[in-house]
Structure 1
């Protein structure tokens, strides 16, 4: 403990880093321009997208976290960053961004200041890069708090960013991280002393972020349920579900965790799924999977985000499923805290439910969301768009993904209109302040210049006329 100021050395270190970030941000803003902010964001983007660096980051991530696989992490680092840079390319974040003469209001974009970003081990390069790019685009500095397993990847990413900054003469202190060893105390201090917290990760971290006293943007838990109805293209649905479920070994919060298939096409879908590498585990054998996937009440680390062969070996399924099996679909009809198959599995395992018809499938999806994953997203494979709209009207969810590979679509894709992001807000259902994908707008604030306009005070008749005609005065 430092006797002079009464704080420990590790807390003093966080304070020093934040002070450096604050000084760098003030200079960045004072000399700011759209061109400068854009160049800084591009520098961070190229730091992760340059092929040799991307490969090194992906290899380091898999080696140090034990999660996912290198080819998919390379793809994720590239596509998520490229998509984000596309999204923000023409966005104005400096100076006057809106001028409305009729309203008499001019909006000026302003940085928030110092961003504190808490990031998970599942995407230890892509998520920090996304936050860093958005922060710089808005004229902010940023301090990243990686998970313990994500430290090596984060260090490497920031070294690459600093190398790009040196080419531009930018202050390295615009992008920093809390160095190892990480601790809850360090992360807590960071969250308490920055100007905005961005938190992606465990619900424990999210709760701490939202109660730290600093304005926070945090995201909810995923537990994606996807419905396959009798009008769906079963082969296309099976192919998309397989690609999505297996991508980066199901590390994404947008990975399918449950399929609900209507009875009329259940057997045909199981056949289509098998052709894509999805092996059916009948309900009579589900208890074996549960016992091995949650051996002590917690997810088995030998199964979480592992390649198919390692997953099958750990679950005792090697040699019991067809050669070339990519994932397991375990039949069940149970939902709730006593039935872990109905929750998030972070592995190449999903729960498979059979529903009498679409309305029954919708009710099952609602029950699953009530247990876990409310607000995040659901999916549907259908030829009836009114059913997708119905899900959006009735279920507690911020996104309904229609006829797409869920993992690729939810966080933005080149063939849909969602913003590219690795952090999905879940609205009030997920106890979040946002219901959108995290994007650049969450990293800026505005000042409004308000001028007098001609008065627009309506007569009472104009406002209440229709109401009075119905109920009287």
Structure 2
């Protein structure tokens, strides 16, 4: 198939999606939208399908592990369904007599979703459910390694669609072989683009000419201060860092520990399976042998990663991840960036103020806007971080991977895509969720005049500054 045929294929897919969406929206009810979202959610959550998707994802991408992908597929989808249950996304959603404004929910149309190989089932499912909940059709562009998982997910969705009489064309994907040209055409033809994945994809999404909601890069750093519950912090960081072999953008990449508790924290970390490594040079040489991350290390089980790094026998047999001591930050110090593996940089700070300064330098280098963690008994420090750091989220005393994208024990919406605000070059600073798949029409009526006198507005200013 030549380039012209590729584009024609994408045009046909989007055209079918547009027809299906119009039918979906015409004479729609909230129940109709909700049933479509339910169908897509059950397609991935049904246990045997969930396992099949998890196994296929690991087999075809070589990233992560099956048990954690099963957990992710289940919890992320269940949490999303909790978040959208009872939410009105069709018809009149507000009617305010005081302002004279009636607000009507409207779909955006055809959503083009660009999704990564790290979560080749959970992320497209999340986008599809949100899109359907708001009355849209959706076309998914998976990464090359994620094609097989996406194909299987859509098969399961179509099975559920058939039970409730929904058109398969509401949910489609760019078929293999994928290409940048196909994805570009899909983005240009869609009504809204949502993009999660590499920053190259994000830039292309944000410059495609279609309104885009894209998310920034992760490079999570976490501070452990002198007031922290060290055993709890070590357990949470270990559980988070090792989940799905560190495929998540919310996985801790750096730990900054205040000197007063440094040795005690390292001891607590060792009990959880975090092995201290003092020879930074050797790790860097094996992690980036040719200037690029070693594919034998990325998102691998601990034993495979340790073997690929040539450290078998040099760390305890029960090692779950490596904590590598360093003090370098920036492009010349790759340990300070995202590592997509069971390796975390470990910094020693003189005191809390230096810990915060180190964290800011790391985020300024990479990961600005995404999130930062803190383990502390002093909540005022967490609030101060939120007021000072270039970040949209401060995760307090939690396992970062499980908290950033929504948790049953915090109030964030469940998502696999975290907006990073202006710091990360994004239009949103929230977790991607249903509101980003919806637009509204306002019916505006005349009301009694509400025009203030000039004195009412400027009296306080004139008192301070003069007229």
TM-score range, shorter chain: over 0.9
CA distance in structure 2 between the aligned counterparts of 1:141 and 1:191, rounded to whole angstroms? 14
Determine which of 194, 200, 203 is the counterpart of 2:190: 194
Structure 2 residue 326 is the aligned partner of structure 1 residue 332:
yes
Residue 51 of structure 1 corresponds to: 47
User: SS of the residue aligned with 1:419?
Assistant: coil
Structure 2 residue 255 is the aligned partner of structure 1 residue 262:
no
Residue 80 of structure 2 corresponds to: 84
Residue 104 of structure 1 corresponds to: 100
Deviation sequence 1:418-458 (CA, Å, 0-9, x none): 00000000000000000000000000100000011111111
TM-score, normalisation: structure 2: 0.99
Structure 2 residue 82 is the aligned partner of structure 1 residue 74:
no
Structure 2 residue 268 is the aligned partner of structure 1 residue 272:
yes
Q: Which moved more, 1:28-37 or 1:374-383?
A: 28-37
CA distance in structure 1 between the aligned counterparts of 2:120 and 2:332, rounded to whole angstroms? 31
User: SS of the residue aligned with 2:313?
Assistant: coil
CA distance in structure 2 between the aligned counterparts of 1:423 and 1:452, rounded to whole angstroms? 40
Aligned 1:191-270 pairs, distance under 5 A:
191-270=187-266
| Structure 1 unaligned residues grouped into runs of 5+ | none
Structure 2 residue 358 is the aligned partner of structure 1 residue 385:
no
Determine which of 262, 265, 287 is the counterpart of 2:281: 287
Residue 138 of structure 1 corresponds to: 134
User: SS of the residue aligned with 2:104?
Assistant: strand
CA distance in structure 1 between the aligned counterparts of 2:149 and 2:335, rounded to whole angstroms? 31
> How many angstroms does 1:472 deviate by?
1.1
CA distance in structure 2 between the aligned counterparts of 1:88 and 1:372, rounded to whole angstroms? 32
Determine which of 160, 170, 173 is the counterpart of 1:174: 170
> Aligned Cα RMSD in Å?
0.8
Deviation sequence 1:50-91 (CA, Å, 0-9, x none): 000000000000000000000000000000000000000011
User: SS of the residue aligned with 2:327?
Assistant: coil
Q: Which runs of 4+ in 1 moved over 2 A?
A: none
> How many angstroms does 1:276 deviate by?
0.2
CA distance in structure 1 between the aligned counterparts of 2:97 and 2:379, rounded to whole angstroms? 40
> How many angstroms does 1:31 deviate by?
2.9
| Structure 2 unaligned residues grouped into runs of 5+ | none
CA distance in structure 2 between the aligned counterparts of 1:461 and 1:383, rounded to whole angstroms? 48
Residue 449 of structure 2 corresponds to: 455
Residue 349 of structure 1 corresponds to: 343
User: SS of the residue aligned with 1:8?
Assistant: helix
Deviation sequence 1:217-251 (CA, Å, 0-9, x none): 00000000000000000000000000000000000
CA distance in structure 1 between the aligned counterparts of 2:147 and 2:346, rounded to whole angstroms? 36
Determine which of 30, 36, 40 is the counterpart of 1:34: 30
Residue 416 of structure 2 corresponds to: 422
CA distance in structure 2 between the aligned counterparts of 1:288 and 1:200, rounded to whole angstroms? 33
User: SS of the residue aligned with 1:354?
Assistant: strand
Determine which of 362, 369, 372 is the counterpart of 1:368: 362
CA distance in structure 1 between the aligned counterparts of 2:311 and 2:121, rounded to whole angstroms? 32
CA distance in structure 2 between the aligned counterparts of 1:351 and 1:37, rounded to whole angstroms? 46
> How many angstroms does 1:206 deviate by?
0.2
Residue 301 of structure 2 corresponds to: 307
CA distance in structure 2 between the aligned counterparts of 1:123 and 1:407, rounded to whole angstroms? 13
User: SS of the residue aligned with 2:440?
Assistant: strand
Aligned 1:431-470 pairs, distance under 5 A:
431-470=425-464
CA distance in structure 1 between the aligned counterparts of 2:107 and 2:329, rounded to whole angstroms? 45
Count of equivalent residues: 467
Deviation sequence 1:143-166 (CA, Å, 0-9, x none): 000000000000000000000000
CA distance in structure 1 between the aligned counterparts of 2:349 and 2:464, rounded to whole angstroms? 45
CA distance in structure 2 between the aligned counterparts of 1:38 and 1:268, rounded to whole angstroms? 51
CA distance in structure 1 between the aligned counterparts of 2:285 and 2:465, rounded to whole angstroms? 64
CA distance in structure 2 between the aligned counterparts of 1:143 and 1:428, rounded to whole angstroms? 27
Determine which of 388, 409, 412 is the counterpart of 2:403: 409
